[in-house]
Amino acid sequence: MSNNQHIRTRFAPSPTGFIHLGNIRSALYPWAFARAKQGTFILRIEDTDLERSSQAAVDVIVEGMKWLGLDHDEGPFFQMQRMERYKEVLRQMLEAGLAYHCYMSTTELDALRERQMAAKQKPRYDGTWRPEPGKTLPPVPAGVQPVVRFRNPIGGSVVWEDKVKGRIEFSNDELDDLVIARPDGTPTYNFCVVVDDIDMRITHVIRGDDHVNNTPRQINIFRALGQEPPVYAHLPTVLNEQGEKMSKRNGAKPVTQYRDEGFLADAVVNYLARLGWSHGDDEIFSREQFLQWFDLDHLGKSAGQYDEAKLRWVNAQHMKMTSDTVLASLVQVQLDKRGITAPVDQRLAGMCGLFKDRCSTTVELADWLAMYFVATSPSDEDRAAHVTDAVKPAIAALADRLAHADWNKAAISQAIKDTIAEHKLKMPQLAVPVRVLVCGRAQTPSIDAVLELFSRDEVVTRLRSA
């Protein structure tokens, strides 16, 4: 690869089932590589499995990528819309003798397979219909629609230098002549991938290692079509918390659910980036740093294991790094879901600034901020424990003072101190019942800062409910 090669990568999901974190990591790396190298990132939807593909799954892919900021430069291309192109290449291959019609029926194939198994051989197509110089082919049976098979090279091997796994070699003898079109003429998976990767001028294929076994077949088709194959990087699987391959069947959540649960896109990008790639010991980094650092030389060889507690920790770090204004617009969405209308303004940003350090998601942040917009109901235990008859006169006095104080942190703080002094109390003896009455809980950040963000009337009314 020359240094000034224009990098073109792609993400080629099959829209079967809702895309989860494990799948979308296969979008993150090609996206990051394209961005890091000023290349082009392409989205291609592999929707030829009509039974299992759905528009809803396409929507989650597009929405999830948009949320995570994995923007594509070209596409989405849909394989179902490219059928004519595949058929054209099939015709060319048949004409050029790179592929041939095979009339072997399923019954014959099954019988062949059984004979091979009985003889302890690996089942493979035996080349009955493969034309060779001087060979007479069987008579074409009437009424049988043939499949098209690719003429795989005989002898030798297919070798590639995988960016993750190193040198991989498959002997051609292990690869039989792949069916590239079904009896009804529809092209098959491995063939479509190659035509697409050629037409889309893909330079680097970065995908899950469940495709390693397809790669030698794809490379042979590339070469038959007179093209050099792209660079391959096969990513190890992502395991779930139980150590199984992450999949929808065993509880993986759709990517968009993380957004709904209050995770930040940058944190998820950071977390996923580290789940199969490293930059020294760096755990927490911004999107910009990631793009500066990303390369294919530091992809990990072993499977990454998903750990939700770690993801929450990464998210908490990103909550701290995120500006209050950005958090305000994210928490607004969460509040809105609870029926709370909160304008994105200085006050909401101030609340985010005050509470973000103690929250690992924007859902937790919304749990805190709700008290500013709807009445709180302190628990009976908290009331009994903290809002005692002994302290009620001090609370009433504080309410009176605050009713006339300037409404800022310093003045609120002064009113509290004056009340404590007057009633000979220690700070927590007043501050805790104030928290319980105003915030509905006994622990909060510094009480003057918390109160300042309420309206004066609201604080006084809640204190007078003692």
Which residues in this chain contact ligand GLU in the complex, by CB under 6 A? 12-14, 46, 193, 207-208, 211
Q: Max CA-CA distance within the chain?
A: 112
Least Å distance between CB 248 and ligand GLU? Answer: 13
Least Å distance between CB 40 and ligand GLU? Answer: 16
Least Å distance between CB 321 and ligand GLU? Answer: 33
> Which one, 207 or 401, has the nearer CB to ligand GLU?
207
ω into residue 343 within 30 of 0, thus cis? no
d(CA 372, CA 340): 10
> Which one, 205 or 267, has the nearer CB to ligand GLU?
205
> Which one, 14 or 361, has the nearer CB to ligand GLU?
14
Q: Are 11 and 33 in contact (CB under 8 A)?
A: no
> Which one, 30 or 433, has the nearer CB to ligand GLU?
30
Q: Which residue bears the tokens 């709904």?
A: 260
d(CA 406, CA 412): 8
Least Å distance between CB 162 and ligand GLU? Answer: 14
Q: Are 222 and 216 in contact (CB under 8 A)?
A: no
Least Å distance between CB 19 and ligand GLU? Answer: 9
Helical H runs in 252-391? Answer: 255-260, 265-274, 287-293, 308-321, 324-337, 346-355, 362-369, 380-386
d(CA 126, CA 437): 82
Least Å distance between CB 111 and ligand GLU? Answer: 32
Nearest 10 degrees: Cα torsion 325, 330, 333, 334: -120
d(CA 324, CA 118): 70
> Which one, 202 or 354, has the nearer CB to ligand GLU?
202
Least Å distance between CB 193 and ligand GLU? Answer: 5
Contacts of 66 (CB under 8 A, 6+ apart): none
> Which one, 303 or 340, has the nearer CB to ligand GLU?
303
Classify residue 375 as exposed, middle or buried by CB count within 10 Å of its CB (0-12, 13-18, 19+): exposed
Q: Are 347 and 453 in contact (CB under 8 A)?
A: yes
> Which one, 254 or 262, has the nearer CB to ligand GLU?
254
> Which one, 53 or 322, has the nearer CB to ligand GLU?
53
> Which one, 229 or 378, has the nearer CB to ligand GLU?
229
Least Å distance between CB 12 and ligand GLU? Answer: 4
> Which one, 12 or 453, has the nearer CB to ligand GLU?
12
Classify residue 76 as exposed, middle or buried by CB count within 10 Å of its CB (0-12, 13-18, 19+): middle
Of 55, 56, 67, whose CA–CA distance to 27 is shortest? Answer: 67
For residue 303, CA distances in Å to 116, 161, 300 come to: 35, 19, 8
Least Å distance between CB 55 and ligand GLU? Answer: 16
Least Å distance between CB 449 and ligand GLU? Answer: 50
Of all residues in this chain, which one has the CB nearest to ligand GLU in the complex? 207
